[in-house]
Structure 1
Amino acid sequence: MDRKKIAVIGAPMDLGQNRRGVDMGPSALRYAGLIERLQSIGYHVDDMGDIPIDRPGEVSEEKTNLKNLGEVIKANELLCLHVEKAVANGYFPLVLGGDHSIAIGTLAGVAKRRHQLGVIWYDAHGDLNTAETSPSGNIHGMPLAVSLGIGHEKLTSIGGFAPKIKPENVVIIGARSLDEGEKAYIREHGMKIFTMHEVDRLGMTRVMEEAIAHVSNGTDGVHLSLDLDGLDPNDAPGVGTPVLGGISYRESHLAMEMLAEAEIVTSAEFVEVNPILDERNKTAEVAVELMGSLFGEKLL
């Protein structure tokens, strides 16, 4: 892949959760100067625009507690096609959310071209719920589980195959809010996870060194899925499910800088920017600054 070519794909999804506004995330990120920032670093950037998202129609006849299931499936199938095409054409796919349910489509598209994909899940939450374990039925709490082949068959089969990734190739960073079903899955599969306890105790440098070694061992690419609620709400207030005690702005920059130096990331998404809940577009600006570090921007 020519790392100098980036395809920006907007996924203005707000149906994977309850709080409106996150559908404006891609626009907020562009308004914060994302395209110009990447171009200034030396990348050729093609902004592919936003995929269309259907609004909820009539109540589905399917008996499930999963909210807006049909619309979420349709959007992620479309996103999968766009991401796969970008990878096939030699681009680095950079997907802008939208809520985190869009990771289902992103990972499906990438995994069609990379069969041993490593994943860094930078998030306050595990997103390992299913219809049975989810307290809310919100699909944005399920994309990692779905990508691992767990959950509703119509979600796990997006892209025509399952699973997309393996638990041994995943690292979760920054978790501090896990449901009981998620904890059980992590323990059962021995998933690599750095909760905020480990981040505080070990420091971000060691966390990232171990994470990079883990996801690059035997993989043919690494996907970064960064939920802005992974950061502390003081640094990223414009998110739908903020959790106190998160990763700091500076720690996050260090994490992105270390990923840039390792040169292992082959696709990425930044999700859950909600301008309605934000302070003068602060969270989108933070996200764009982190993307700059991820793509190799340096002070000197």
Structure 2
Amino acid sequence: MTTARHVTLIGAPTDIGAGARGASMGPEALRVAGLAEALRAHGVDVLDRGNLAGPSNPWLPPTDGYRHLDEVTAWNRSVHDAVHAALGDGRMPILLGGDHCLGLGSISAVARHCRETGKKLRVLWLDAHADFNTSKLTPSGNIHGMPVACLCGHGPQQLIEIGGHIPAIDPKWIRQIGIRSVDEGEKRFVHEVGLEVFDMRYIDEMGMRHTMELALATMDANTHLHVSFDVDFLDPDIAPGVGTTIPGGPTYREAQLCMEMIADTGRMASLDVMELNPALDVRNKTALVAVDLIESLFGKSTLMRK
């Protein structure tokens, strides 16, 4: 696949859907950690489009079950347009978040591109959280807990229609990995729609290799693989710089294996890097780990075998 060698970085500096401020500084922290330079060292052509613009965070309580709905919609529309344009140019978009509500704009754009080009879509959602809440299920109204539900057609009209097709994706296209924090009502909803979830207990019992073999199974040459990487997927010991740290995530080696197995497929064609919060980080440690893992998605490997 050629697109993997041509990457467009798209910064989305907002914490509009989050419960803590600071994810708006994530794109710059990834740049400071040397993301573009690291990718170029692997022979990747990198075009950094800079940052998208959007409304600032008014930091208000929820209205009718949602916080900042209009602002979240505006940000997701510009993310959708930028990601869709990059794919149209034959390049691989890497969205630098920003909180995970932006996964809605990104993945709806990828799904639209797949419909236009006749490709199948597979989404890997690497996260501590299922992000399958609705306004009825969560009192906080923080939309970064809702993007997967919105993508599957469960959410406010202005969000679910962004990609021009409702629902944007079928739940069967998603594999969630590393999940360890799910609200009670959300858990029932996840089971109802049949989302495939490899939670931390599954990874503990079966190992990361078996987990990834299943998550990556049945893809073919016509599959577009999208990776949505929430940095809180990682154990907080190695990635403290996130707004919602949940202990017991994948270790550094488990995360590396996850990324290396994704790279081995040669199918990754778009990527989100979300929820990095430098305000809560220690000397940009989390951004450096994220860049290291992204390098593995592009074929950096510790393997000595031929």
TM-score in terms of structure 2 length:
0.93
Whether contact under 8 Å (1:118, 1:219) holds in the other structure is: no
Match of 1:195 among 181, 188, 199: 199
What corresponds to 2:35 in structure 1?
Answer: 34
For structure 1, list consecutive stretches of 5 or more residues without a partner in the other structure: none
Distance change >3 Å, CA 218–CA 6, structure 1 → 2: closer
2:83·2:109 contact (CA, 8 Å) conserved in 1?
A: yes
Q: Indicate yes or no: 2:283 matched with 1:280.
A: yes
1:37–1:193 distance in 2 versus 1, CA, 3 Å: same
Deviation at residue 298 of structure 1 after TM alignment: 2.7
Aligned to 1:97: 97
Q: Distance in 2 between matches of 1:208 and 1:152?
A: 33
Aligned equivalents of 1:267, 1:187: Cα separation in 2: 27
Q: Which residue of 2 aligns with 1:17?
A: 18
Retained in 2: the 8 A contact 1:169–1:219? no
Q: Report if aligned partners of 1:257, 1:294 keep a CA contact under 8 Å in 2.
A: yes
1:229 aligns with 2:241: no
Do the aligned residues in 2 keep the contact of 1:37 with 1:292 (CA within 8 Å)? yes
Counterpart position of 2:132: 128
* Structure-to-structure mapping, 1:41-56, within 5 angstroms: 41-56=42-57
Match of 2:217 among 213, 226, 235: 213
Deviations 1:261-294 (A, max 9, x none): 1112111111111011001000000100010000
What's the CA shift for 1:59? 7.2
- Tell me how far 1:189 sits from its aligned partner: 2.6
1:252 counterpart letter in structure 2: A
Q: Per-residue deviation at 1:158?
A: 1.1
CA RMSD of aligned residues (A): 1.8
Query: In the alignment, is the contact (CA less than 8 A) between 1:120 and 1:222 conserved in 2?
Result: yes
Q: CA deviation at 1:2?
A: 2.7
Q: Give the aligned partner of residue 144 of structure 2.
A: 140
- Residue 2 of structure 1 corresponds to 3
Residue 249 (structure 2) aligned to one of 246, 249, 252? 246
Distance 2:24 2:180 in 1: 25
Which residues in structure 2 correspond to 1:169-184 (within 5 Å)? 169-184=173-188
What is the aligned length?
298
TM-score (norm 1): 0.95
CA contact (8 A) 1:118 1:165 kept: no
Deviation at 1:63, TM superposition (A): 4.8
Distance 1:42 1:122 in 2: 26
Amino acid at match of 1:48: R
Q: Aligned partners of 2:169 and 2:222: how far apart in 1?
A: 10
Match in the other structure for 2:106: 106
Q: Which amino acid aligns with 1:265?
A: M
Q: Secondary structure at the match of 2:132?
A: coil
Matched, 1:75 2:75: yes
Q: How many Å apart are 1:207 and its aligned residue?
A: 0.4
Are 2:159 and 1:155 equivalent residues in the alignment?
yes
After superposition, what is the alpha-carbon deviation per residue over 1:51-87, rounded to whole angstroms, capped at 9, x for unaligned? 0121146979x95221111111001101100000000
Percent of aligned pairs sharing the same letter: 43
Q: What one-letter code is carried by the residue in structure 1 that aligns with 2:157?
A: E
Contact 2:111–2:163 at 8 Å: present in 1 too?
A: no
**How far is 1:174 from its partner?**
0.5
